Amino acid sequence: MHKYANPTLFLRVSALLVPWLAAATLLLLTAGLYLALLASPPDYQQGESVRIMYVHVPAAWMALFCYTSMATASAIGLIWRHPIAELTAKATAPIGASFTFLALLTGSLWGKPMWGAWWVWDARLTSVLILFFLYLGYMALENAFDDPVRGNRAAAILALVGIVNVPIIKFSVDWWNTLHQPASVVRLDGPAIHPSMLAPLLVMAAAFTCYYLWVVLLRVQSEIIAGKIRGLRLRQAHG
């Protein structure tokens, strides 16, 4: 992967991927919303409220996926000083925070009619809220130092420490008594939900994944270009 530390090569490869990811995002999102809002049936217990789950569940999956990606990129940046990995971690943080906020918001909207409360201090909800604060803490630390190297290092260490929260979120429904149901999609004996409801979930998850890849490439591209502009200005200032 060291060859991709070359910003010029990264820009060339990402320029080829960005339009395809943009098209895939739009197509999958359109198909997913159609399946979620029109084609799928209402749940026999939740009624039409189940449609919130087609956004909530993929957003929660992406919150964990983005944090894992951010922590992995942070580790690569710390160990191998890989500049693109550092930029990827930085670019992932606001996207992951947005997905986490969306998961908390849609979960609250679903919880009011189902549980009778906007918020409860459930193990899953609390650990996801901590995840949201970890994203915010990463972004705050990354910008807290005049020296960007120190900021990147401090934020990367926080990301690696916070990765312990990911398995806690995943297994919280098994370790503690919570209001959340156990896993119903990723199971050893296969999904426990009907295909008519599984399809919108998977399509929306694919749409969110393509969206993440699309936006993170755009953000890394912009960071590389901004770095080149800063370098040119410094050279001009020093003659």
> Which of 220, 52, 59, 239 lies closest to 131, judged by CA?
59
Summarised one tens digit per residue, pLDDT across range 129-154 is 999 999 999 999 999 998 889 999 99
pLDDT tens digits, 30-64:
999 999 999 998 887 788 888 999 999 999 999 99
Looking up tokens 């960007």 gives: 148
Percentage, residues of the chain above pLDDT 90? 65
CB atoms within 10 A of CB 151: 17
CA distance 165 to 25: 29
Distance of CA 89 to the CA centre of its chain: 11
Q: How many CA atoms lie within 13 A of 12 on its CB side?
A: 7
Question: How many C-beta atoms surround the C-beta of residue 158 within 10 A?
Answer: 18
Per-domain residue ranges of the chain: 2-40+49-237
pTM: 0.93
Which residues does 222 contact at the CB level (< 8 Å), separation at least 6? none
